[in-house]
Amino acid sequence: MDNTAGEHVAFSDLVDAGSGPSRFVEGTLPYDRTLGPLRQSEPIDAVSICFRWWPADFSGTFDWAAGRYVVLVSEGAVSILSGEGESRTFRQGDVLTLSQSGQPDYRIQASNGQPFRAAIIDLDGTYSDQKDAVELRKSEQSLPYVRNVTGIDERSHFEDGVLPYFVESDGSLFTRRFPLTKFQYVYAAADLRYDFHNAPQRQIVIPLTGGTQGENGDGSRRVISTGGVYFGEDTTGEGHITSAVDNAIRFSIFAFLA
């Protein structure tokens, strides 16, 4: 699947095994709105987002509660074998939707002997804090992020930080979940330069291809590489400039924070 063409969003849906073996079904979503130079899909209802990491030797299933999820690979690649026996590999820029109700009959495996990382969007679950923090085993690994916020001077300012990872029983890692209201897919051309503007809402931006560069009025800049995590929260004030990185097309998501 190629989500850099800009015609629509292409995705694979791994349909639940409730009425037979799980299978892949293809789908598309149109870009039917714009924001400045950006093309956007219709916002989609969502409950939460978290970030997960799997080791290079991982083989198993997505051991999650029943529901519908969007899986967005942000580093490495994962091979999935459906119940029907079809194998597909998902990489940066690919979109997988997943329906899960019973015991999964599919298998997932890290590709090419490398770990993989993904953003997981829960579409229809019930948000709650996963566990009390004292019950979680913290990993030595963490996930860097950049946040952009409006200061008391009404100018945007970058903050750098990390999201802690916690250890699952299967050896994978996960961050805490962030409650959402919606998310949408966003396409930006390779020559993007979006002059001063505010974040349209408090949101997490994840470039799935191409990366993005932000520049504030004080001259400070940050490059968010493909798969990086950017909290855009400067919804008022002077705003920031957004540009393409290395003349590459950016396919990304905007996840609206609750």
pLDDT tens-place string over residues 126-175: 655 555 445 788 999 999 999 999 999 999 999 999 999 999 988 999 99
Compute the distance between CA of residue 48 and CA of residue 120 in angstroms, rounded to an integer: 8
The whole model's pTM is what?
0.94
Q: Which residues of 174-200 are buried (b: 16+ CB within 10 A; e: fewer)?
A: bbbbbebeebbbbbbbeebebeebbbe
Q: Pairing between strand 250-257 and 221-224?
A: unpaired
The whole-number pLDDT of residue 70 equals: 97
Match 């100018």 to its residue by tokens: 155
Fold of 8-257: Jelly Rolls (2.60.120)
The whole-number pLDDT of residue 25 equals: 94
Q: Is 43 helix (H, G, I), strand (E, B) or coil?
A: coil
**155 contacts 149 by C-beta, under 8 angstroms:** no
The whole-number pLDDT of residue 100 equals: 78
Compute the distance between CA of residue 44 and CA of residue 121 in angstroms, rounded to an integer: 11
The whole-number pLDDT of residue 42 equals: 97
The whole-number pLDDT of residue 197 equals: 97
Distances (CA, A) of 12 to 23, 47, 69, 70, 140: 10, 21, 12, 10, 33
**56 contacts 126 by C-beta, under 8 angstroms:** no
The whole-number pLDDT of residue 111 equals: 94
Please choose, from the candidates 57, 43, 198, 18, the residue with its C-alpha nearest in 3D space to the C-alpha of residue 121: 43
Q: What's the pLDDT tens digit per position in 171-200?
A: 999 999 999 999 999 999 999 999 999 999
Give domain limits for the chain.
Answer: 8-257
The whole-number pLDDT of residue 1 equals: 82
The whole-number pLDDT of residue 134 equals: 52
Compute the distance between CA of residue 108 and CA of residue 101 in angstroms, rounded to an integer: 17
The whole-number pLDDT of residue 137 equals: 87
The whole-number pLDDT of residue 130 equals: 54
The whole-number pLDDT of residue 164 equals: 96
Instruction: With a cut of 50, list the residues of the chain below it in pLDDT.
Output: 132-133
